[in-house]
Chains A and B, each alone.
Chain A
Amino acid sequence: MTAWIAGALLLFFVFCATGLVLSSLGGSRYAAIVIGWQGALCSVMLMLAAVFRLMGAQDFDLALWTLNGWGSLSLHLDALSAVFLFTAGLVYLSCSFFVPDYLLHYFRNRYPAGRYGVLHFALMATVVLVLVAGDALTFLLSWECMSILCYLLVNYEEAQQTDSSAGYIMLAMSEAGFLAIVVAFLVVAGNATGISFTALRAASGDLSRPAVWGVFALGLFGFGVKAGLVPVNFWLPRCYTASPPAFIPVLAGVTLNLGLYGIVRLNGDLVPGHDIGTGLVALIVGSITALVGILYATTENDLKTMLAHSSIENAGIIVAGFGAFLAFRNSGNAAPAAIALTAALYHMANHSVYKALLYQGTGHIEAATGTRDMDRLGGLIRLLPALSVVFLVGCLAISAVPPFNGFVSEWLILQTFLRSAILSSGLVKIVFALCGAILALTAALAVTCFVKTYAMSFLGIRRGTWKVNKALPARKWRFSLMILAVSCLLLGVLPTYVIPVLDGAVQPLAGTSATAALVPPFFTATPQNQQLPPAFLQDFHNLGAQTGAGAVPGRGLVILLRGSEQNPVVFAMSPSYSIIALAILLFLAWIVVGRWTRRRTVEKRELWAGGIPRLLPEMSYTATGFSNPVRVVFQAIFRPNIIEDTRATVGVHFRTAIRRRRDETHLVDRLFFHPVGDVVGWIARSLAAMHHGNLNAYVSYSLGFLLLILFLYRLA
């Protein structure tokens, strides 16, 4: 098996390199074809490598060259990397069909597609290198290259951008995060024998408690920059909005995962520690991130910015799940820890798929109508019917509606919070309860947000003055969307097959098998099975849990959590059976309504609007109006600055215009970025006081500094 993995990875790098070279030659059309086909091949190789690892259950190691005094650079593909690799491959596969035509038809001849191709393949290579890095140096080098390539791709449409500082802020924040990561690795590697991950893992046991906390904090916030955690995520909405629509599915679906990968690898695998506090910190940070993200998403009218805030929300949920994992593991409860990590990884995969889907859909909308403002869209369901179906799948998935994938991961996350009852400390349980409440609120707000998105963009009447651009090629783009939509459905309907696959990554970190905790073997259980007593099995057999036992492979189709001895409750769900039941019910309804009831003629008549001549666009609900209650309820968080400007002609009586402008500073900006900026500015200004131009004083600075050094040397 390892040979096949090696082969797949080798082919991947070869295709990447050839793709890079080929797209730099030739014209735009040629480059687009290369991006499409080579990119698809690369993605398939990635997915194959991941599948081979997950099926074969054996790690892949490859030592590259050795550096003097540092150790050897190596590649190491374990199950955790494989999970992330598969997700990245899936997103890249879909993007391979999306990007080329987008480049050709949307960019026309303004920007050369060849340059994009070079950057595209380079980024793909560095992403994979980050994921399969086996030692700290490879990891750090490829991380840095990845950051720079991201910046270059974000700023690809430099002439087009309204906010050219967005890429720059991202680069600055990436560098700051990188510094933090480097320091973290240095602390860990201080006592280690080499720089490979195995050496670091071995050395982490000797780290003192403050050092572990230091590594944890640096890792969380350093990787949190890429992942989008509060308070280091203020670059994310700006940057996601400014990046070209061809790149952003990759940005949101692949590079965000790298930040999460870093957090899981460093804080979960290399330096897990023994403190329950680290888990709580991650839990709290994740929950707050989720809430802030979804609040701003719900009140945002621009589709891309809204999806950016939603990405922040999902990253927060994943990190909260990860925090729960740490808390459970460090307090000795391995099974709930496994469940929590499974939920986090599942949510990561789900998020990549449906976020890429939604971003591609947004790219379509923007190409078709020229606007992204939900206040000006509307009525697209009649103009772009195929897109509206797929976009609906994406909205349902992200709102955690069964039978799509969001439901499964959301359910698992909330279940882990319910399991917190087995922890001993009261304070910890309170924290879990509060964070669980925050996540529940987040889930509800997510539904609001995406109902608003879908309703305002697709339903109703057209509110703007745009016309649909009919000259768009539809077929290939549909394929890219279909891949992701079908993945949403499959990930949602077959969770009992996904969980054993994720288990390969979870088991080494948590200590027990998640499959054992979550998927009872209804299909394969023997009467001597200790885990499930026969009476229990019989109950579920009566409910139908063994339907399909002979025909369908695997352990069963039900996800089931059992409570403890004191609290013997059972939480069970099965999207697989649900979708079958749903299909049967719909079929029955169709029969009853269609065949057995009387034929009725349905006439379509004009919309009833109270008798006015026609319903004007200014009379239909806007996105701002829909989300206004959220703005009002959470006013303390938004703290808007409302400036009312009333234009009146003569006294109060004749009003001609009432304008209300809302100025809002983002919460994170207000609480973190601006104060930090103010402090830095203050420091700079104070230090600038030293630069008064007096030569004698400068000489005395040198003298004073020399005396200080001597004094310190004396002391030491």
Chain B
Amino acid sequence: MVTTPSFPSEPPDVVSLESNVEARFETAVSVSQRRGEDISIVVRRAAALPALCKFLFGDTGCSFGGLIVEERKEDWHLLYLFHLPGTGWIHVTLQLPLENSTVPSISPQVHAADWYEREAEDLFGLRFEEHPRLGDFILHDQVWQEGLAPMRRAFDPGQVHLERCPNQEWRPNLVVKDPGAFAMPVGPVYEGGLGESIHFLLETVGEDVIRASPRLFYKYRAVEKIAEGKAVSDGLLLAERFAAKSAFAHSLAYCQAVEKATHLEVPVRARRLRVVLSELERLRHHAGAIEAICQSTALNVSEAQAAIIEEQLLRASCCFTGHRYLFGLNAPGGLRRDFDGPACQALLAAVEAALARLRRLEHRLRYTSSFLDRLEDVGVVTAEAARDLDLLGPVGRASGLANDLRRVWPYAGYRESAFEVACEKEGDGYARLRVLFFEAQQSGRLIHQAIEALQPGEVWAEGQRMVPGPTLGWAEAPIGATVHWLRLDEDGRIDRYRILSPSFRNWLGFHVAVENFAFQDFPIILATFGLSATECDR
């Protein structure tokens, strides 16, 4: 049963959080509040960092946003983003001199930070003490040599003839140490390439797969590095195109970050149209995810029906906006084009037709026991595990974490919209499927509301001068919450661009779901997670 979660009636007190932190950590940190919403905590003593993060994540119930590492002129800036629903963003910053690149690791306390620290170690060369496993993460040891640190300022991304001394004796790090155990390799080219390039090692002693370890970052294109020095408009092109199936959501987060930096008020019509386009993308993405689940269970007719729905939505997107994946629509300040009444009505009709087909499909699937048998109790992520790893999006919602940025921090036109947030408790494949269907229906509802509420007006507002400095924008992408963080310099160019993508976080949850399962359930669990390697790899 899909239920609407109940939010606490009183938002936690900002003041109480500040005073709690100050009381606990006294001189190690200094707390201040800025911009009316965000809290800034500067950590003066690095050793207090793990305890502070554990307090925020575990005791106060904050959600971990991500780790942003910057190499400034004289020192390292490490920004640990947390957020408390109803309060604001909590920026925990730590500054270290450049020659000291050792940081205490917070991963033992905040498990969700595991991969962020590994990424920082691979790309910046920082050492995180007490992190159990560093190395061979983004830059594969079989291809790259140690110590490259490509995200450092001194590294030129354009050097195409890099000396490579790969490690020929590389062996995977296998966890199951039974003498008869072996690891079945899958990928990176498998399923005819219709699956993304990921390498899995399924460790087994014959029957059940005891543990599956995915090896990602085969698609690493250093988006954050090549964005440095680009103009804001060129950075927008990158934001759209690094994960094209959520292109509009990422471009929206990027534009909202820039709009914050220019103190822009986006026109009402543009906000509502942004809701229409975001939900259109979400609806199409979920249709594709449902098709992938049906394909993994080999229920061919339902796969075909879901594929028809996805293709029809792609065509509807193309008729409405001129591009099937909604490229080139967002700009800082609003939208680059307007849509007239008949076009909106045509879109609405197409969406209604798609929703009707989805309802019929859902109804039929609900009564196909052979299909449900393959999804129920398969790939379970318990509520504790979900909270421990702070999972996002439909995966988190299927395990009881009802976090949705559209509800918690409404952006664009979501303030005026009424919709329900899906929430399931079981955390298995069927729960994730139900969440997808529910959210698809809610997307339809949101599109309907937004189109009905459209008033004539401008769709774009001119920006004032850009204020250099850091800025943050967010959106609820189809896979989960995404945060784009920018630091702009005086010329209005990008000094540092950081993408915190939901797939990067949710792949951790995949590890938990794939333990002790039968080998034939593996594609099903993969499909129900619906994760994107390109969004994770950037």
Contacts and interface: CB of A to CB of B under 8 A. Distances in A.
> In the complex, is A directly touching B at CB under 8 Å?
yes
B114 A628 contact: no
A439 B282 CA distance: 61
Contacts of A610: 185-190, 199
Given A657-B175, A658-B210, A612 B188 contact: yes
A609 B189 CA distance: 9
A625 B205 contact: yes
Interface in B167-217: 170-172, 174-190, 199, 201, 204-207, 210-211
A369 interface: no
A425 interface: no
B111 interface: yes
B337 interface: no
B142 interface: yes
B132 interface: yes
Nearest to A649: B132
A649 B206 CA distance: 26
Interface string B365-389: 0000000000000000000010011
Contacts of B114: 653-654
B182 A622 contact: yes
Contact of B183 (A375, A619, A629, A655): A619
Contacts of A651: 108, 111, 388
Contacts of A612: 185, 188, 199
Given A656-B175, A658-B210, A611 B189 contact: yes
A628 B207 contact: yes
A616 B174 CA distance: 12
Contacts of B187: 610-611
Contacts of A620: 182
A513 interface: no
Contact of B179 (A624, A626, A649, A656): A624
A624 to B, nearest CB: 2
Interface string A514-536: 00000000000000000000000
Contacts of B181: 622, 624-625
Nearest to B178: A660
Contacts of A653: 111, 114, 388-389
Contacts of A611: 187-189
B111 A625 contact: no
A275 B402 CA distance: 77
Contact of A301 (B174, B180, B182): B180
Interface in A645-664: 649-660
A616 B201 CA distance: 12
Interface string A626-648: 11110110000000000000000
A610 B199 CA distance: 9
Contacts of A623: 180
Contacts of B388: 651, 653
Given A656-B132, A657-B175, A657-B177, A618 B207 contact: no
Given A628-B207, A650-B108, A616 B190 contact: no
A701 interface: no
A624 B184 CA distance: 14
Nearest to A376: B179
A179 B148 CA distance: 78
A44 to B, nearest CB: 45
User: Which of B108, B142, B182, B186 has the largest number of chain A CB atoms within 10 A?
Assistant: B182
A507 to B, nearest CB: 50
B107 interface: yes
Contacts of B111: 650-651, 653
User: Which of A301, A621, A660 has the largest number of chain B CB atoms within 10 A?
Assistant: A660
A613 interface: yes
A615 interface: yes
B176 A622 contact: no
A625 B204 CA distance: 8
B208 to A, nearest CB: 9
A649 B114 CA distance: 13
Contacts of B132: 649-650, 654, 656
Interface residues of B, number: 39
A23 to B, nearest CB: 41
Contacts of A619: 182-185, 201
Interface string B328-367: 0000000000000000000000000000000000000000
Contact of B171 (A616, A654, A655, A659): A616
Nearest to B210: A658
B72 interface: no
A651 B110 CA distance: 11
Given A613-B142, A615-B185, A622 B211 contact: no
User: Which of B132, B171, B211, B389 has the largest number of chain A CB atoms within 10 A?
Assistant: B132
A610 B189 CA distance: 5
B415 interface: no
A661 B455 CA distance: 70
Interface string B144-179: 000000000000000000000000001110111111
Nearest to B168: A613
A623 B205 CA distance: 10
Interface string B205-246: 111001100000000000000000000000000000000000
A658 B175 contact: yes
B188 A624 contact: no
Contacts of A616: 171-172
Contact of B180 (A624, A632, A654): A624
Given A619-B182, A653-B388, A658-B211, A625 B190 contact: no
User: Which of B177, B180, B207 has the largest number of chain A CB atoms within 10 A?
Assistant: B180
Contacts of B142: 613
A643 to B, nearest CB: 11
A699 B168 CA distance: 83
B206 A629 contact: yes
Contacts of A659: 176-178
Nearest to A301: B180
B45 interface: no
A375 B179 contact: yes
Given A610-B187, A624-B205, A658 B177 contact: yes
B133 interface: yes
A678 B190 CA distance: 57
Nearest to A374: B180
Contact of A654 (B133, B170, B211): B133
B193 to A, nearest CB: 10
A266 to B, nearest CB: 43
Given A610-B189, A612-B199, A628 B177 contact: no
Interface string A276-308: 000000000000000000000000010000000
A629 B188 CA distance: 28
Contacts of A631: 206
Given A612-B199, A619-B185, A620-B182, A628 B205 contact: yes
B194 to A, nearest CB: 14
Nearest to B108: A650
Contacts of B201: 619
A655 B174 CA distance: 10
Interface in B299-331: none
A615 B186 CA distance: 11
A302 to B, nearest CB: 12
Interface in A125-148: none
A655 B211 contact: yes
11 contacts: A610-B189, A612-B199, A619-B184, A621-B182, A625-B204, A632-B206, A632-B207, A650-B107, A655-B175, A658-B175, A658-B177
Given A375-B179, A622-B181, A650-B132, 16 more contacts: A610-B189, A610-B199, A613-B142, A618-B172, A618-B183, A624-B205, A625-B205, A629-B207, A654-B107, A654-B114, A654-B132, A654-B133, A656-B132, A658-B177, A658-B210, A659-B177
Interface of B: 107-108, 111, 114, 132-133, 142, 170-172, 174-190, 199, 201, 204-207, 210-211, 385, 388-389, 512
> 9 tightest A-B contacts by CB?
A628-B206, A624-B180, A625-B206, A611-B189, A649-B132, A654-B132, A650-B108, A653-B111, A619-B185
